A and B are shown apart, each in its own frame.
Chain A
Amino acid sequence: MLNIELFLIYLLVSILFIVAIRGLSRPNTALLSNRLGMTGMLLAIISTMFVLPEQNHILILIAIFAGALIGIMSAIKVKITALPQMVAVFNGLGGLSSTLVAFAQMKNMQTQYLDISLSVAIGTIAFMGSMIAYLKLQGNFAKILRKLPFHNVFNLALFIIMIFSWGNFLVYSTIDSLFYLMCFALLWSVAVTMPVGGADMPIVVSVLNACSGFAATAVGFSVSNVALIITGAIVGASGTILTFIMTKAINRSLLEVLFYNQTKDEVLKDIKDKTVRSASPEDAAFILENSSKIIIVPGFGMAASEAQFALKNMAFVLKNKYGASVKFAIHPVAGRMPGHMNVLLAEAGIDYEDVFEMDDINPEFRTADVAYVIGANDITNPAAKTLKTSPLYGMPVLDVYKAKTVFFVKRTLGTGYSKTDNPLFFADNTMMIFGDAKKVTENIVKDLEQG
């Protein structure tokens, strides 16, 4: 069934995939790496089809073309703001595919039951978790669902039942017991992902990404195919590393993200009496005109109001008319998926050379005239550094407070996702510009162009 030529082709496919991921180390080779990935995938599909018996060929081809049509159409139609959801859906379908393959094998041939059970369990978790993530990112769930009573006890109980049903399958190896395993994996993934809040979504999506990879590996073991094993391992590694980077960037462990939903908001009560200075877009424009170094800090609020194009115009005017230096500062967990802000800024046509990661930009706030924080909150909170009682304590943040003037573009004085007050709102060098991120920025641009 597996001849030498095919084996070598699978090796080539694996190498193409590795090189493809490697190519993402620099933006200018990135497009090429996507093409390499496509080439590898086409090679794998065509050569596999070529050696398989003719049986079912027509049906298979129809399935592939229908899938391709739906996949490409939805990828083209989706709005850039909805990208995190789209990626989650595709991820889930891959997971479901692994589950189905495992079931089909159960019916068809006798293989190692360990591999099959892992494909089913991990694939199902990847699928259902992604669907919940999709619905949450679409904003389909009310907040009530975030807090189930006895949430953690319930989750733990489900987890134990799931492990038990796994053991049950390994002992009895019937299709029924495999079905039970799938059901409990479904329930458990729903119970775990449902309460996770929006700002923690990048972490959940990364975990599910790793799951779909490892599910492919498990299928690879059961059909003894090295291409599946290698690719799955690389995808798994990618998801795991992204998870690690994200959890490190909020200084919480994965377990805390999934099982501990913080509710504290009593910190900094005394600060409530302090006054806030608010500014109009005109005031902000005046200060920006006289600044030579400006750092823009985008957060999810920018994505929500699609302010990236207005920001691009603002940076353009400030640079070309007023000769200022304008840089963008990105926190690793800003937005709803890893690297979300970078994609949106790139969409608006902002040069990636003007966009900096946290560790590179932090030393620069000290010399900046203005930090323009748009739709972000927790990732700039200095309490994370100084206040031991803050839930954010220990989380690396952008040092915007060091800038001469800090603008916060926000709709209200409300807290961010962590429900923690940001003392920076009340600082002497801070001005709040209340309003919609996009409208405020557009008004500033208008003033800058006239002024």
Chain B
Amino acid sequence: MTILFLFTIFILACFIGYFVVWGVTPALHSPLMSVSNAISGIVIVGALYVAAYSDNLAISEILSISAVFLASVNIFGGFAVSERMLAMFKKKDNKNA
């Protein structure tokens, strides 16, 4: 039952994604890529679970802590890059100066 429940959520989320992404203006496709890239770092939550239930110095601990680290680079780097890109798209007050 759980798997069907999760699968339902997955399919519905695909539909939401489909409609939301088509609404993104083509001018912002680069930021779309880097923002979506940053939020795909949500995999850190999975890494945290596995890390928290691993024994000390077990291989799974090393792997999951590394996963936390990598996802963290992905998240913070991704949002920072997006922030830089989007700041450039801010409407200029002194339009032609």
Q: Which A residues are closer than 8 A to B by beta carbons?
A: 1, 13-14, 17-18, 20-22, 24-28, 30-31, 33-34, 37-38, 40-41, 44-45, 48-49, 52-53, 55-56, 59-60, 63-68, 70-72, 74-76, 78, 80, 83, 86-87, 90-91, 93-94, 96-98, 100-101, 103-109, 112, 205-206, 209, 212-213, 215-217, 219-239, 241-242, 245, 316, 319-320, 330, 332, 337-340, 342-343, 346-347, 349, 351-352, 355, 357
Contacts and interface: CB of A to CB of B under 8 A. Distances in A.
A20 B35 CA distance: 8
B45 A45 contact: yes
A339 B26 contact: yes
Using C-beta atoms within 8 Å of the partner chain, give the interface range for chain B.
Answer: 35 or more
A60 to B, nearest CB: 6
A235 B39 contact: yes
14 contacts: A56-B52, A63-B65, A66-B69, A75-B76, A97-B70, A100-B70, A101-B67, A104-B63, A205-B33, A206-B33, A215-B40, A225-B49, A245-B26, A342-B28
A60 B51 contact: yes
Given A238-B32, A330-B26, 18 more contacts: A24-B32, A41-B41, A48-B49, A59-B65, A65-B72, A66-B72, A67-B73, A75-B78, A87-B30, A90-B78, A94-B37, A97-B43, A100-B63, A100-B67, A101-B46, A108-B60, A219-B43, A355-B27
Interface of B: 2-3, 6, 9-10, 13-14, 16-18, 20-54, 56, 58-61, 63-92, 95-96
B74 A101 contact: no
Q: Which DSSP category, helix, strand, loop or mixed, fits chain B's interface?
A: helix
B35 to A, nearest CB: 6
Nearest to B66: A100
A25 B44 CA distance: 27
Contact of A216 (B43, B53, B78, B95): B43
B30 A109 contact: no
Contacts of B40: 91, 94, 209, 212-213, 215-216, 231-232, 235
- Among B36, B63, B84, chain A packs the most CB atoms within 10 A around the CB of B36
A318 to B, nearest CB: 11
Q: Which DSSP category, helix, strand, loop or mixed, fits chain A's interface?
A: helix
A342 B9 CA distance: 35
A63 B68 contact: yes
Contact of B17 (A72, A94, A220, A233): A233
A174 B37 CA distance: 31
Contacts of A230: 9-10, 13, 16
A67 B54 contact: no
A97 B33 contact: no
B86 A34 contact: yes
